[in-house]
Amino acid sequence: MSFFCRIQIAVTVCSVAAGCVSQPIGPAVAVKPGRDKPLAVFLRDDAQCKQYAREQLARGVDTRAASDARVPRAQLNVQQRYDLAYLECMHAKGNEVSERAGANHAA
């Protein structure tokens, strides 16, 4: 088997393996609507924050929460990075995020 054939096989295997990494389908944390926030507004916030979290994963950006906790990105799995971005967004929109939810992912 030639050297170039081996390289081509290795690249193909790596490409297939990279495609097998599953993306989160949604947050694995609970968030409650902010005080006196209508359900429709909360649901809109939820949809926007899910989109924000997906964009952060796609860009490979560390969330502020992960940076503040001084947790290297490599130590967080995909779901944890998604959840932190989602929690950060929902908190910024005035929803109730328990401190424990973020701490579980940053620890």
Q: Is 57 within 8 Å of 78 (Cβ atoms)?
A: yes
The confidence score (pLDDT) of residue 45 equals: 97
The confidence score (pLDDT) of residue 58 equals: 87
The confidence score (pLDDT) of residue 24 equals: 82
Burial class of 49 by CB neighbour count within 10 A (0 to 12, 13 to 18, 19+):
buried
The confidence score (pLDDT) of residue 98 equals: 81
Distance CA 24, CA 27 (A): 7
Residues of the chain with pLDDT under 50: 107
The confidence score (pLDDT) of residue 107 equals: 47
End-to-end CA distance of the chain: 47
Instruction: Give the residue carrying structure tokens 């579980």.
Output: 104
